[in-house]
Structure 1
Amino acid sequence: MNIDNFREYCLRKPGTTEEFPFDNETLVFKVMGKMYALSGLKTWEEGEPRVNLKCDPEYAQELRAEYPDSVLPGFHMNKHHWNTVVLNGEISMKQLQQFIDHSYSLIVSSLTKKLKEQLKSLD
């Protein structure tokens, strides 16, 4: 997967926006204003892309145990709720998409009723 594939996949999700809220190097994807994915652009340029994704805490522990070289506690994030996924070839594109879907779903499930209704109207 390259940065364009990653961006396109995230942007296909309803209610998703892309921003640079921290600096001009950290690309952040939000659904209805809440962050679900981010990645430093330099990691893509340097050949070892990394993506931070929200994750259910128990599932995060399982993934870290199964992929100790590829799924790490979230860098600069709450390590209980976020994973850093290193795209070193161990994680397939399909798996990464599933991880993105999981992150997006977690955020959507935490939205207020009003925001969920707004999101539903975007479909």
Structure 2
Amino acid sequence: MSNRKIIALIFEKDEKLMINLKLKPQHGELMRSRNGVYPGYHMNKTHWNTITVNKTDVSKNELINMIRESDKLTQ
């Protein structure tokens, strides 16, 4: 919060809960091979990824780790 940068965008599209997170490019590319993970919706597609929270095979722990990574990358 102290740097006033966005670490995540949470939104609903077509009745699906979505979250945009910033990941290292190689990690983002790896995660995009998973169901429910796409290049960032309306974001820089090299660094940002969109996860369909309720329709993905990304586990809760993986999602939490992705949020932590996004936080570190935006400091």
Q: Say whether the fold is shared (TM-score over 0.5).
A: yes
Q: TM-score range by the shorter chain?
A: 0.7 to 0.9
Kindly tell me the number of residue pairs found equivalent between the two proteins: 74
TM-score of the superposed pair, with normalisation by structure 1: 0.55
Which protein has the larger Cα radius of gyration, Structure 1 or Structure 2? 1
Return closer, same or farther for 1:89/1:59 CA change in 2, 3 Å cut-off.
closer
- Of structures 1 and 2, the one scoring higher in RCO (CA 8 A, sep 6+) is 2
Distance 1:32 1:107 in 2: 8
Match of 1:117 in 2: none
Q: Does 1:82 align with 2:48?
A: yes
The structure 1 segments of at least 4 consecutive aligned residues displaced by more than 6 Å after TM superposition are: none
Q: Percent identity?
A: 34
Q: Which structure 1 residue ranges, 5 or more long, are not aligned?
A: 1-14, 16-30, 109-123
Which one has the bigger helix percentage? Answer: 1
**What is the Cα-based RMSD across aligned positions, in Å?**
1.7
Q: Which structure 2 residue ranges, 5 or more long, are not aligned?
A: none
TM-score of the superposed pair, with normalisation by structure 2: 0.86
